[in-house]
Amino acid sequence: MTGVFSLLPEGRPGLLDPLLSGAVLPGGSEDLSRYLAAGGYTPLPDPGRLLDRIAAAGLRGRGGAGFPAAVKLAAVRDTPGTPVVVANGEEGEPGSVKDRWLLRHRPHTVLDGIRLAAAMTGAARACVYLADAPAERAVRRALAERPAEPRVDVVRTEHTYVAGEESAVVRRIDGGPALPTAKPPRPFESGVGGAPTLVANVETLARIALVHACPEAADAVAGSHLVTLAGTGRAEPGKDAAGATALAEVPAGTHLKVLADLCGHGGADSVLMGGLFGGLHGAGWTDLPLDHDRLSAAGGALGCGALYFLHPEDCPVAVATEAAAYLAAQSARQCGVCVSGTGALATALTAVARGEAADDTTGKLHRWSRELPGRGACGLLDAAARIVATLLAHFPDRVAAHRGSACPACANPAPEDGHRFTVPVP
Ligand code: SF4
């Protein structure tokens, strides 16, 4: 099963709602005339009032950190200089497809969000930053038929785990490599060409467009999420579930078990959340709601909203080892602690998976998972450390069971390319 689903109550505006966003032919892109008819590109509002509305609705950024969107917009507006707005469509998490889907199918909604963000910050220039060729074609088509202001450039980057990190975005747009830089300064202080820069995820911008188009439903728009659902395991009886994936739009607070059921992974017994950023979670995960604060309190992270479900026959040690190896391979190799830290985590986990770990390996993994977070220039090292920390916290018996011998899943490891986590764009 692969598809696009909405769990929003009837009448609640959403990004998967074809009536609100304009008709989309199968495999096609948003049609301008229908988008206009549906309330898109309406005259610019009072920028302060729209910012207040976004703040009151509690819209949080959808790139991963969940930072309040209104605070970020105001910080860019209030920094001296002429701001730049960047729509960040490069989703580095291999298990997330929402941003590419939006750019491919709802380019006008994203461009409308750019227009409104530019009005709120005072920007005269904007960029769409992406790596996906079909998304680029859709955005260029939409740019050719949309209102001319503000000026919007398209900047193509490579698809890597770190290319969408906000300082990497700025560096790439300025002609450098798509690699993170040390902070401060943050992009809102000194970004593209030294200007105060809003780097906003494309879903965040699309939700700003919806808040403007449907002010009466601003809370509902801000309280809905696009999530990418995937997993492995055997199909449930009568269902073609193995490897099933879905893009879904759901209300905040939806329980993760409901999302597993939605995409045919109702038999899952654990989950990898936030793409690779939120770690592995076992007992009790079914009671967790889709909520930044609740998932953080549980030691996880919502991140970009990608969930990967594991079934009883899957081995969490194998999944963690594969994820750690992928992250080590994706390290931008700029920070010494990241190069050595991700390498050490991946090597130690591989030893555990093969049943070749020394007596002190688990102790070292515990210590590294506590000491490494926050020490790299971006979140990649944190992701690797959290995967280890959550594996040890939620699956101590499964880790201990690998002492002396590998389980069948670990005896046949997958390649380090992250393919297990990669989801096709529906
Ligand atoms: S933490 Fe790792 S991936 Fe991030 S910038 Fe440093 S070396 Fe690169």
* Alpha carbons 394 and 389: distance in angstroms, whole number: 9
Distance 255 CA to ligand 1 centre (A): 33
Query: Was domain 13-221 assigned CATH 3.40.50.11540?
Result: yes
Residues in the chain: 426
| Mean pLDDT calculated for residue range 43-48 | 92
* Residue 125: pLDDT band with limits 50, 70, 90: very high
State whether the beta carbon of 334 lies less than 6 angstroms from ligand 1: yes
What are 349's two structure tokens? 């986990």
Amino acid sitting at position 419: H
State whether the beta carbon of 380 lies less than 6 angstroms from ligand 1: yes
Question: What pLDDT was estimated at residue 87?
Answer: 98
* Residue 304: pLDDT band with limits 50, 70, 90: very high
Summarised one tens digit per residue, pLDDT across range 307-316 is 999 998 889 9
Classify burial at 156, counting beta carbons within 10 Å of its beta carbon; exposed 0-12, middle 13-18, buried 19 or more.
middle
Phi (first) and psi of residue 396, to 5 degrees: -60, -35
State whether the beta carbon of 381 lies less than 6 angstroms from ligand 1: yes
* Alpha carbons 370 and 382: distance in angstroms, whole number: 10
Assess whether pLDDT exceeds 90 at residue 11. no
* Residue 396: pLDDT band with limits 50, 70, 90: very high
CA distances in angstroms from 283 to 176, 271, 287, 302, listed in the order given:
45, 10, 9, 18
Q: What is the dihedral of CA 385, 311, 252, 61, to 10 degrees?
A: 40
Residue linked to tokens 């006008």: 108
Contact (CB, 8 A) for 210 and 192:
no
Assess whether pLDDT exceeds 90 at residue 7. no
* Alpha carbons 317 and 324: distance in angstroms, whole number: 10
State which ligand 1 atom lies nearest to the alpha carbon of 161. Answer: 3
Q: What is the DSSP string of 206-239?
A: HHHHHHHH-GGGHHHHHTEEEEEEEE-SPPPTT-
Question: What pLDDT was estimated at residue 59?
Answer: 97
Which residue from 160, 167, 335, 386 has its CB within 8 A of the most atoms of ligand 1, so it is best to mutate? 335
Distance 91 CA to ligand 1 centre (A): 16
Q: Is the peptide bond before 237 cis (omega within 30 degrees of 0)?
A: no
Report pTM. Answer: 0.93
| Mean pLDDT calculated for residue range 239-265 | 84
State which ligand 1 atom lies nearest to the alpha carbon of 376. Answer: 1
State which ligand 1 atom lies nearest to the alpha carbon of 331. Answer: 3
* Residue 417: pLDDT band with limits 50, 70, 90: low
Assess whether pLDDT exceeds 70 at residue 234. no
The helix or strand, by DSSP H or E, that contains position 327, with its residue range, turns out to be helix 316-330
State which ligand 1 atom lies nearest to the alpha carbon of 332. Answer: 8
| Mean pLDDT calculated for residue range 209-226 | 93
Domain range summary for the chain, segments of one domain joined by +: 13-221, 223-310, 316-421
Distance 381 CA to ligand 1 centre (A): 7
Tell me which residue has its CA closest to atom 1 in ligand 1: 376
Assess whether pLDDT exceeds 50 at residue 187. yes
Question: What pLDDT was estimated at residue 151?
Answer: 94
Question: What pLDDT was estimated at residue 25?
Answer: 53
Distance 315 CA to ligand 1 centre (A): 28
| Fold designation for 316-421 | de novo design (two linked rop proteins) (1.20.1440)
Distance 1 CA to ligand 1 centre (A): 36
Check residues 243 and 369 and name the one with the higher pLDDT: 369
What are 30's two structure tokens? 């948003």
CA distances in angstroms from 206 to 61, 142, 200, 257, 297, listed in the order given:
11, 14, 10, 27, 28
Summarised one tens digit per residue, pLDDT across range 58-94 is 999 999 888 999 999 999 999 999 999 999 999 999 8
Question: What pLDDT was estimated at residue 84?
Answer: 98
State whether the beta carbon of 92 lies less than 6 angstroms from ligand 1: no
Percent of the chain with pLDDT over 70: 93
What are 161's two structure tokens? 């785990």
Assess whether pLDDT exceeds 90 at residue 415. no
Question: What pLDDT was estimated at residue 207?
Answer: 96
**CATH number of the domain at 223-310, out of 3.30.465.10, 3.40.50.720, 3.10.20.600, 3.20.20.190?**
3.10.20.600
Tell me which residue has its CA closest to atom 4 in ligand 1: 378
| Mean pLDDT calculated for residue range 153-174 | 95
State whether the beta carbon of 391 lies less than 6 angstroms from ligand 1: no
State which ligand 1 atom lies nearest to the alpha carbon of 162. Answer: 3
| Mean pLDDT calculated for residue range 123-128 | 96
State whether the beta carbon of 160 lies less than 6 angstroms from ligand 1: no
Question: What pLDDT was estimated at residue 21?
Answer: 53
For the chain, what is the largest distance between any 2 Cα atoms, rounded to a whole number of angstroms? 68
Distance 320 CA to ligand 1 centre (A): 19
* Alpha carbons 373 and 388: distance in angstroms, whole number: 11
Distance 339 CA to ligand 1 centre (A): 8
Distance 385 CA to ligand 1 centre (A): 13
State whether the beta carbon of 378 lies less than 6 angstroms from ligand 1: yes
Contact (CB, 8 A) for 53 and 121:
no
